[in-house]
Amino acid sequence: MKKINARVSLLATAAIGALCFQISSAEARVVIDRDAYGVPYILGDTDREAFFGYGYAMAEDRLIQISKLRYLSNGVYPKDNEQTGKKALAGKEKANSYLSDYPYLQEDIRRELDALRQAYEQDEDARRAVDALECVAAGINAFLVQNFKQMPAAEDSCNPREAITFRGRPLSANPQELAYIAERFADEADFLKPTWTAEDMLKIFQNRVMDEFSNRNEEVNNLALLREFERQNPGQPEKARRIFNSFKWVADPHAITEVKNLEQSGGISLREARAVVAGYRQAKHTELLKTGGAICPSIAGGGVGKESYDFAYQGADKTGFAQNASNFWAVSGDRLAKPAKSVMYNGPQIGAYDPNGFYPFKLKSGSGFQYAGTSFAGTFTTFTGHNGKIATGFTAGNSDVADMFCIPVRADRKVDGHTTFVGEDDLRLLKTPGTPKSYHVKGMGWPVSRLEVGADGRAVAYIKRVTWQGQTGSSFKSFLALASAQNMEQWQGAATGVGANFNLIGSSDDGTVTMRLAGVIPPRVNSNGTALKNLKDRPDRLLWDADVRLPVPVSPAKGWHDEVPDYYVQNETTNNGTVVSWNHKPYLLMPDSDLYYDAWYAWDRAQIIEDILSNVRDYDIEKASNVNTLLTRLDINYHMFRPYLARLTQSGTLPEELAPIAQSILKWDGMRGAPGKPGGKNCVGRLPSIPQGQVLFMDWYENLGAAFSEKILGVSFDRLAKLKAKATRAKTEKDVRLTAGETSELEELNRRLSVWRPYGKLKQPMYSKQAEGKPKLIYNTSQNVYILGKMMLINLKFAFGEHPSYDETGWNFLLGKAADRRDGKKTVAAGYDWMIAALRKTALQNTGPAYSSCHAIATMANNAIVMSTRDEKALAFPYFRNRGAQNHAVQFNGVSPEPASGQESNAGMRRLQAILRQLAPETSFEARNIAAPGVREYRGISWRNLDPTDNQLQMLNTDQLRPMGKFGAPSEQ
């Protein structure tokens, strides 16, 4: 906590007010300037006025989006005649309410906001957090009052005494937005009221930051998958459990990690850490083979009862993140070109929606706070950007920070007409107000993810706990502290208060770069009652004795302790080297997440970035952007599987007629197209033609995956296709019908595929195929080797003796038997047969040269909070994988030289600059980022005669970043 030195603060404020702005507090002002891309630059005399200007500018640009976000985060929604969203179904009545994921946590928000206000006078970070929450809301309200006369003016202490100054011209609500509101809402005041509050800001922050990145859990689905494997292998429980072990492994002791210097981050050697992890994995796998895992209680009669409430759509049981390949890297020291001290690139790939979930801005306060970067729309966040001395970025941490507990409960009395349920520890489940069937634990706010109710009133409740509960206010404050940090020590201290689960990256003007794991460690309790705590001193205690893949059959009140939480402090810091994250494992002593796509292992895409950076010299911000462009086009699956196809061609077992296909694949360089080059006629506009080797590789890889899936599921896809074709014919041809056996077989095959579908995708880059004379455009890209690909890769690496930690509690899919190290040679032969069969199938497919790869920015609704009138064809770009909505790059060049005599504007400014240079020398830097698509861009408004619709689309198409500019006065931009 930083204490405010009142005397210094007052003097500094007075000096800046007199010399910089040359106005008194009675003449306080806000200036809103915009660059050629429409990105606002807000200047305010004080923090409060700068935040006010930010809120006003955001309301100009994103009024409809942020209004819907507010309703989403409050758990209510006014009647919308054309509502779309999670619950909307085609051809059916649209839902008239849109529910917050956690409406029962609203009281937590109020308590946390009260705590920030109570610390206002003593804690500078708390003061700035309260100022931001209150004054961003006030700025939105001011825009509404100006443009919607029926909106009542709100009392606030943020409003500048002078009217807002606009560089260029002020904007008002566009007729297109007014028409949108009038069309969908019976009363526009219904949509825009009530006035915005600090509580609204914090609720949106909870919804968009805390919940979005720290609330994934797959344990219920994992349990269902385990039971499905047992069902598919009746009488062979060991086989089923071995398949599950191979599919959902707990930890790989040789996984590539972001934090490599374990002794720096916990005082344990790599050898010791690998031994701990290997022992943990062996224990959990062996336990599963013997017992089938911890068994959740069954309802009366066994199986699913008369009623099953599944609340996944409300967020209580969210599955994995969208597959978007977030990454970052930073370089310092000898590899840099002069005068660079550090270079950071961050690509948080969170989709290119229109309007985007992020809002770009630059802000400077006369009180000393400044930041340029992006925020989540609807609130104020500062964890992607820079302040002139420290740059910050992030990727999703994906750590296991949510646990599911399953306990027996029984139906009890009704409250407000709804049945309540009671379990051990007197836990009472109450109906959540405003929701159709959702329940939560009374007094705790823990969501009931699933509730299975039997005919006799007994039930099983799956209750989830998340580590970020109660951490929203302190996390908001900590992000602002990150933004105001002047050195890496302050930055690291601020990161310790971030309760959301992120991998943070920081780079500074002194050449220090760091990767930092943020979030609260799950406060777990072992089965013997010992609490996992003091983990900073004993990081080996991170490993729970429960199986993290499955729900734990204990009360959530007993599974977690309620003592002061531990935060992750693990970091990788250097002033002469690199730090890298591509959503790979942050820390070796962390049990693997239970997310279906994110089993961390020894061969990860992050190694590609490290290999590229190790061969780059004279590195700078330009080369950082070039590296990202390379990663945009690089096919990671090809990089991983090409060596095994090459071995096949040298083995003497490849049939001669298949050799041309294999050689064509091997000749491809693994780079998907070239940005900006004209495309074929099958694709939209200027998209590139796809190389034939890429087409053949994609088909071959998909065929490999299909054959592997058949081994796992015990099905034949050819047989399934024939049954489906016959079923289709039976609908129109009287003489064709399925037998009872065929009908039963088709139902079973479809059921198995429905269970497998989320796990069996390879996430390959698709291409357009002619369908009835018209091109079929597919917007999918390769971002990682996903779970099915990893399972195939592990079998291949074992076969060729390349697996450093082969798990003998798993299953050898190539041989169809229990894993055994002695089967290496047999597995090689089976692997060659498998690859040859996939090549043979590829040869039979229509893979001519007339394919084009088509990718696009999505104009789909982002959580039903946006509208878009853009033509999708105008948004089509090649290979959009790594062109995230808020990619940014920052290069610090160290302390800048003093300006030459006569360059300062006046004597007062020269005196102030000299004082500030002594206290905190200015840093020379260059910063660039994406101008995230928003609402304003397609209104036909031109900034300084430049249409953002054109220049933003061109920037994305060519994978370029906009200059973020300096922190000077607006006229200097």
Query: DSSP label at 690?
Result: P
Dihedral, 823, 829, 831, 832 alpha carbons, nearest 10: 170
pLDDT reported for residue 306? 37
Query: Residue 266 is encoded by which pair of tokens?
Result: 């916990």
pLDDT reported for residue 183? 67
- Return d(Cα 453, Cα 443) in angstroms, integer: 22
Where residue 931 falls among pLDDT bands split at 50, 70, 90?
Answer: low
Where residue 531 falls among pLDDT bands split at 50, 70, 90?
Answer: confident
Position 242: which residue type?
R
- Return d(Cα 522, Cα 542) in angstroms, integer: 9
Full-model pTM = 0.86
Position 188: which residue type?
E
Query: Residue 909 is encoded by which pair of tokens?
Result: 């400014």
Which of 292-306, 362-376, 433-447 has the highest mean predicted lDDT (pLDDT)?
362-376
Q: Give the range among 348-362, 694-708, 798-812, 866-880 with minimum mean pLDDT.
A: 866-880
Query: DSSP label at 460?
Result: E
Q: How would you classify the pairing of strands 40-44 and 358-365?
A: parallel
pLDDT reported for residue 331? 97
Question: What average pLDDT does range 685-706 have in this prediction?
Answer: 76
The 10s digit of each residue's pLDDT in 209-256 is 888 788 878 888 888 888 889 999 999 999 999 999 988 888 889 998
* DSSP 3-state of 201: helix
pLDDT at residue 112 tops 60: yes
Q: Are 354 and 870 in contact (CB under 8 A)?
A: yes
pLDDT at residue 621 tops 90: yes
pLDDT at residue 373 tops 70: yes
Question: What average pLDDT does range 331-352 have in this prediction?
Answer: 88
pLDDT at residue 649 tops 80: yes
CA angle centred on 519, ends 517 and 523, rounded to 5°:
120
For residue 332, give the H/E element and its range: strand 327-332
Query: Residue 793 is encoded by which pair of tokens?
Result: 């890769």
pLDDT at residue 343 tops 60: yes
The 10s digit of each residue's pLDDT in 266-285 is 667 888 888 888 888 888 88
Q: How would you classify the pairing of strands 888-895 and 923-929?
A: antiparallel
Q: Are 200 and 137 in contact (CB under 8 A)?
A: yes
Backbone angles phi, psi at 926, to 5 degrees: -130, 135
- Distance set, CA 385 to CA 255, 317, 362, 929 (Å): 30, 32, 9, 8
**How many C-beta neighbours within 10 Å does residue 306 have?**
12
pLDDT at residue 187 tops 80: no
Question: What average pLDDT does range 121-147 have in this prediction?
Answer: 93
pLDDT reported for residue 318? 41
pLDDT at residue 169 tops 60: no
Share of the chain above pLDDT 90, in %: 36
Burial of 587 (0-12, 13-18, 19+ CB in 10 A): buried
Where residue 262 falls among pLDDT bands split at 50, 70, 90?
Answer: confident
The 10s digit of each residue's pLDDT in 887-918 is 899 999 975 444 444 444 455 555 545 544 44
Look at residues 309, 206, 250 and name the one whose alpha carbon lies nearest to residue 595. Answer: 250
Tally of CA atoms within 13 A in the half-sphere of 331 that contains its CB: 26
762 vs 875: which has the higher pLDDT? 762
- Return d(Cα 425, Cα 444) in angstroms, integer: 13
Measured in whole angstroms, how far is the alpha carbon of residue 856 from the centre of its chain? 19
* DSSP 3-state of 625: helix
- Distance set, CA 777 to CA 201, 547, 683, 768, 852 (Å): 39, 42, 7, 5, 9
Which residue has tokens 């971002």?
Answer: 783
Q: How would you classify the pairing of strands 458-466 and 402-415?
A: antiparallel
Break the chain down into helix, strand, coil percent, rounded to 5. 40, 15, 45
pLDDT reported for residue 836? 97
- Distance set, CA 88 to CA 66, 80, 221 (Å): 20, 12, 24
Question: What average pLDDT does range 814-821 have in this prediction?
Answer: 92
- Return d(Cα 357, Cα 207) in angstroms, integer: 12
- Return d(Cα 573, Cα 511) in angstroms, integer: 11
Query: Residue 650 is encoded by which pair of tokens?
Result: 């040298």
- Return d(Cα 202, Cα 207) in angstroms, integer: 9
Where residue 65 falls among pLDDT bands split at 50, 70, 90?
Answer: confident
pLDDT reported for residue 783? 63
pLDDT reported for residue 604? 84
For residue 76, give the H/E element and its range: none
pLDDT at residue 371 tops 90: yes
Which residue has tokens 């990718």?
Answer: 855
Query: Residue 273 is encoded by which pair of tokens?
Result: 């850490």
* Mean pLDDT estimate for the chain: 77
Question: What average pLDDT does range 761-774 have in this prediction?
Answer: 55
- Return d(Cα 396, Cα 410) in angstroms, integer: 38
* DSSP 3-state of 387: coil
pLDDT reported for residue 507? 97
- Return d(Cα 592, Cα 257) in angstroms, integer: 12
Q: Give the range among 313-327, 346-360, 624-638 with minimum mean pLDDT.
A: 313-327
Which of 13-17, 186-190, 764-768 has the highest mean predicted lDDT (pLDDT)?
186-190
Backbone angles phi, psi at 575, to 5 degrees: -120, 10
Look at residues 104, 113, 100, 111 and name the one whose alpha carbon lies nearest to residue 74. Answer: 100
Position 901: which residue type?
S
- Return d(Cα 890, Cα 328) in angstroms, integer: 12
Which residue has tokens 């006014």?
Answer: 78
pLDDT reported for residue 297? 81
* DSSP 3-state of 917: helix
